[in-house]
């Protein structure tokens, strides 16, 4: 699905969306996956998987305050059974604190570091919305435009939804991933299938409600928004306007759309309990095609 999964190191001011599955950001969202679990994790208790490993913050930051920040981070890892995390805090007149804890990959005993790239999943939606708002300010589109003004019709997608409604999750369009179990099965059955936004939309079920009648989170809406950006910009992919409008102007040198460009840096493993059985699965081993 075209899921654009955007990666960014913690130090970057913004961290982008996930794959499409675009999905969570076309353009990709992290929802594209093939489930892979490590036996070593299956037979290890949660507290062993998430044992905090403290790292120093950057030079010059107040020592006592840095230690308190690190303690909070390590405590959250343990309390919420997280595999690993990195964080950054910028304080005026004090500097920047960087911290990491836990593991990137406990199987190989690789600890989390503050310079690792991280999948940002649906945080990518903020980038999509920002570009749409830029285009609205420029007069390239109106938030009140029905999506039919910019896109062809798709089955089960109400073309009368406005751009504002898809950004606010009030368009009623069904979520192709969360509302349709067939999507995950399709990914697992054919993990090398490349999911374009258009192909992803074939998994959209009938609308949940008429446009504007209620609120319901929908990755599909942001897939459509990404397609509108691509249409107006005239680019072949979402990555082009993303770089032109946000990444380059704001000097986000460590933020990438992994399905469309090479990553520069080491990607931290992405762990998630996909099946709800308490076992964390390594999503990093899944082909980047959805």
Q: pLDDT tens for residues 15-36? A: 333 333 323 332 333 333 223 3
- Buried residues in 134-157 as b, exposed as e (16+ CB within 10 A): ebbeeeebeeeebbeebbeebeeb
Of the two residues 78 and 163, the one the predictor is more confident about is 163
Pairing state between β 6-9 and 18-19:
unpaired
User: E-assigned strands of 41-168?
Assistant: 84-91, 95-105, 110-111, 117-119
- What pLDDT does 28 receive? 32
Domain ranges of the chain: 6-39+120-285, 45-105
229-275 tens-digit pLDDT: 999 999 998 999 999 999 999 999 999 988 888 899 999 999 888 77
Give the other-Cβ count within 10 Å of 64's Cβ.
Answer: 7
Question: Of the CATH numbers 3.40.710.10, 3.40.50.300, 3.30.9.10, 2.60.120.10, which one belongs to the domain with range 6-39+120-285?
Answer: 3.40.710.10
Of the two residues 39 and 79, the one the predictor is more confident about is 79
Q: Give the mean pLDDT of the chain.
A: 81
- What pLDDT does 198 receive? 95
- What pLDDT does 60 receive? 62
99-112 tens-digit pLDDT: 999 999 998 999 99
195-218 tens-digit pLDDT: 899 999 999 999 999 999 999 999
Torsion of the alpha carbons at 217, 218, 222 and 224, rounded to the nearest 10: -140
- What pLDDT does 278 receive? 79
Q: Residue 52: which pLDDT band, with cuts at 50, 70 and 90?
A: very low
Contact 42, 66 (CB under 8 A): no
Of the two residues 278 and 26, the one the predictor is more confident about is 278
- What pLDDT does 62 receive? 79
Q: Which percentage of the chain shows pLDDT scores above 70?
A: 78
Element holding 131 (H helix, E strand): helix 124-138
Highest mean pLDDT among 63-67, 119-123, 155-159: 155-159
The closest alpha carbon to 284, from 38, 50, 10, belongs to: 38
The span from the CA of 251 to the CA of 121, in Å, is 20
Q: Residue 58: which pLDDT band, with cuts at 50, 70 and 90?
A: low
148-203 tens-digit pLDDT: 999 999 999 999 999 999 999 999 999 999 999 999 889 888 888 888 999 999 99
């Amino acid at each position: 699905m075209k899921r654009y999964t955007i990666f960014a190191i913690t130090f970057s001011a913004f961290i982008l969306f996930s794959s499409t599955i675009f999905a969570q950001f076309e353009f990709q969202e992290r929802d594209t996956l093939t489930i892979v679990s490590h036996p070593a994790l299956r037979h290890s208790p949660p507290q062993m998987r998430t044992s905090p490993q403290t790292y120093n913050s950057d030079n010059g930051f107040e020592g006592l305050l840095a230690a308190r920040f690190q303690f909070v981070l390590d405590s959250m890892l343990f309390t919420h059974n997280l595999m690993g995390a990195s964080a950054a805090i910028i304080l005026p007149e004090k500097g920047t604190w960087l911290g990491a804890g836990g593991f990137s990959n406990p199987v190989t005993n690789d600890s989390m570091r503050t310079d690792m790239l991280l999948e940002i999943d649906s945080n990518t939606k903020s980038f999509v919305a920002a570009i749409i708002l830029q285009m609205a300010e420029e007069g390239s589109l109106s938030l009140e435009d029905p999506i039919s003004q910019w896109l062809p019709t798709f089955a089960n997608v109400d073309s009368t939804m406005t751009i504002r409604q898809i950004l606010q999750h009030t368009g009623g369009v069904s979520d192709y991933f969360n509302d349709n179990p067939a999507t995950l099965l399709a990914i697992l059955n054919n993990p090398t299938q490349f999911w374009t936004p258009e192909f992803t939309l074939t998994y959209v079920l009938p609308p949940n409600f008429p446009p504007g009648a209620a609120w319901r989170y929908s990755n599909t809406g942001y897939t459509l928004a990404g397609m509108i950006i691509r249409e107006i910009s005239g680019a072949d992919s979402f990555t082009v306007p993303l770089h032109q409008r946000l990444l380059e102007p704001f000097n986000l040198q460590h933020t990438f759309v992994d399905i469309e460009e090479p990553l520069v840096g080491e990607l931290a493993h992405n762990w998630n309990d996909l099946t709800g059985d308490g076992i964390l699965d390594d999503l990093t081993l899944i082909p980047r095609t959805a």
